Amino acid sequence: MVKPQSPAAELRNQRPLSVPFTLATKLKIEALETILQQPASTILETAVRAFIAALPDADRKLVESLASRALESVQQSSQAETAAKRVRVCSTVSGSHFEYTGSLDEGIEVLFQKSRPLRITRESIGLIRQEIAQRKGPALMGAIFSPLMPNSIGEAIQKKHRLTPINLSYVIPLLRERGVVRAFKEGRNWYVAAERGAAEAGAQGEAGA
């Protein structure tokens, strides 16, 4: 006879539930990412903390207790995963350093000190590469969401593929390191252009994948 699990064990073994957002909500979160220069996880955490603070004392203590247990488990798992991965350092086009794990070929996780990593999948990187390769010359980078920059790479990937333009802040520098693109500043705006030989080979590789 199988012994039933305790409520605490059931909680630990439960998989996280995905929360579906409407398109309007997603766009608002992405706008806040740009305005506040913070990842969505930090913005949502702030909103959840405000909601919990408004709960009655008993409910709040229960939520905080369950959250503490879950956080300990997540932190232990995250630390083990991070230790197994090599942390690399790169710089944005404007010179700000950031840490990440992974690669352009397998997808990357951008690491932040006070929030969860920003994950950019291999498929998203491929779509960004294709968009750059399709341009006949230099194009506005447009790594901001509000407002979207007309005719920019950021506008294109958001409208065509629902990718946040913020991804460009981390993908473009890695593409530049590999020699796939070049990035330069004119006036107040950053531009990106494909290095033809490498970009064409990359676009063909993505098409065949």
pLDDT at 120 over 70: yes
* Residue-wise pLDDT tens digits, 80-115: 666 557 899 999 999 999 999 999 999 999 999 888
Give the domains, in start order, of the chain with CATH numbers.
23-81 (no CATH), 85-208 (1.10.10.10)
Select from 73, 105, 101 the least CA-distant residue to 89.
Answer: 101
Q: For residue 67, is it left (φ>0), alpha (ψ between -120 and 50) or beta?
A: alpha
* Residue-wise pLDDT tens digits, 134-160: 998 999 999 988 889 999 999 999 999
Contact 130, 209 (CB under 8 A): no
- What is the DSSP annotation of 136-172? SS-EE-----SSPPTTSHHHHHHHHH---GGGHHHHH
Q: Which pLDDT value is given to residue 21?
A: 73
Residue listed under structure tokens 């959250």: 67
Q: Which pLDDT value is given to residue 55?
A: 87
* Residue-wise pLDDT tens digits, 16-66: 555 577 887 778 778 777 777 778 778 888 888 888 888 898 888 888 888
Q: What is the DSSP letter of 71?
A: H
Cα separation, 95 vs 91, in Å, equals 5
* 78 or 115, which is more confident: 115
Cα separation, 52 vs 64, in Å, equals 8
**Confidence band (pLDDT; 50, 70, 90) for 163?**
very high
pLDDT at 199 over 50: no
Residues linked to residue 191 through DSSP beta bridges, in sequence order: 140, 184
| pTM, to two decimals | 0.57
